[in-house]
Amino acid sequence: MHSIVSVIITYQPDLTVLRQLVAALRDQGTCVLVVDNGSEENVGHWNADQTPGAHHVIELGSNHGIAHAHNVGIDWARSQDARYVLLMDQDSIPAPGMVAALWHQAEQVDRLAAVGPRYVDSRRDNPPPFMQVKGLRLFRHSCIRENDTVPVDYLISSGSLIPLSTLAVVGNMREDLFIDYVDIEWGLRARHYGYQSYGVCAAKMEHSLGDNPIKFFGRKIPVHSALRHYYHFRNAILLYRSDLLPFNWKIVDGSRLILRYGFYTIFAKPRFAHWKMMTVGLLHGCINRSGKYRP
């Protein structure tokens, strides 16, 4: 357990939640690093006043994107001779025993890409399932038994426990994506190199996905800002252009992307702003523009 470095990425964080997150990760036996992506609050000074605080803080000074911040954290974990890195968003809270459950499973798997917890968003009715594409179908693996471990194509970055030995082969996160699809791209790239990711049902985490969800025929659909939708649609196209990703996955994800485009155009408000940013994202993906959004 002492060989795990938890990397928390912050950007304008809720400091009350951040305090809870740091304390939970320390209580579960990990070394805690905060990488701040240019928040107005001086997170380093804030951390110095906390008892306990994170073991170390790296302040990037400006927003370089989540992929770059992850890579900074991964490199620092390497410098500490860690065996695993645990990536965490600032708005996630691990349940008691989450890290131990992930670590226990990780130690039993050969050619492991990552293991991740089942997360619960209190604003939604049901915990999101783990996803896997088989053929031209998307399978949603729900946790039927508490001790189930299910193979998945990718995991959300928050809560992912990744061996540094795997990162040495697969490579770090793709920084030109900036944010969105970063975890998906890495998970599918790891699969290309013969590594498998798993969802661990016994590991649980609270996590807020997007802004307030939209109710639609009894379901609650997560919605992000118009800018996040730009990155989502642009990066999807960039990934479809990659030779490392399976063709069937591109077909399944592309069909879902079309549905999202129509749904967010109609239901996300302000409608024009969302439609515009999604459309610009699609166009920028087609001309291979990446990095931070530039109007």
What average pLDDT does the structure give for the chain? Answer: 92
User: What is the span of the domain harbouring residue 108?
Assistant: 4-207
pLDDT of residue 210: 62
pLDDT of residue 208: 74
Does some domain include residue 292? no
pLDDT of residue 129: 76
**Is residue 85's pLDDT more than 70?**
yes
Does some domain include residue 294? no
The answer to whether the pTM exceeds 0.85 is: yes
27 and 159 together in one domain: yes
71 and 152 together in one domain: yes
Give 219-271 pLDDT, tens digit per residue. Answer: 777 788 999 999 999 999 999 999 888 999 999 999 999 999 999 999 999 99
**Is residue 37's pLDDT more than 60?**
yes
Question: b/e map of 209-227 (b: 16 or more CB within 10 Å)?
Answer: beeebbeeeeeebebbebe
199 and 219 together in one domain: no
13 and 45 together in one domain: yes
Q: Which of 164, 183, 207 is the last residue of a domain?
A: 207
Q: Among residues of the chain, what percentage have pLDDT more than 90?
A: 80
Average pLDDT over residues 11-28: 96
Q: Which of 178, 207, 236 is the last residue of a domain?
A: 207
Tokens of 35: 């990488």
Task: Let me know the angle formed at the C-alpha of 59 by 288 and 82, rounded to the nearest 5 degrees.
Answer: 90
**Is residue 42's pLDDT more than 70?**
yes
pLDDT of residue 144: 82
**Is residue 2's pLDDT more than 80?**
no
Does some domain include residue 291? no
Give 210-228 pLDDT, tens digit per residue. Answer: 666 777 766 777 788 999 9
166 and 123 together in one domain: yes
pLDDT of residue 128: 72
187 and 274 together in one domain: no
CATH code, domain with 79: 3.90.550.10
Does some domain include residue 295? no
Does some domain include residue 264? yes
Average pLDDT over residues 270-282: 97
Q: Which of 207, 236, 258 is the last residue of a domain?
A: 207
**Is residue 142's pLDDT more than 60?**
yes
Which residue in this structure is represented by tokens 């600032």? 90
13 and 94 together in one domain: yes
Does some domain include residue 119? yes
282 and 161 together in one domain: no
pLDDT of residue 58: 98
Average pLDDT over residues 28-38: 96
Does some domain include residue 128? yes
231 and 172 together in one domain: no
Instruction: Give 123's pLDDT tier (boundaries 50, 70, 90).
Output: low
Average pLDDT over residues 32-53: 95
226 and 166 together in one domain: no
270 and 199 together in one domain: no
222 and 185 together in one domain: no
Tally of structural domains, the chain:
2
Does some domain include residue 121? yes
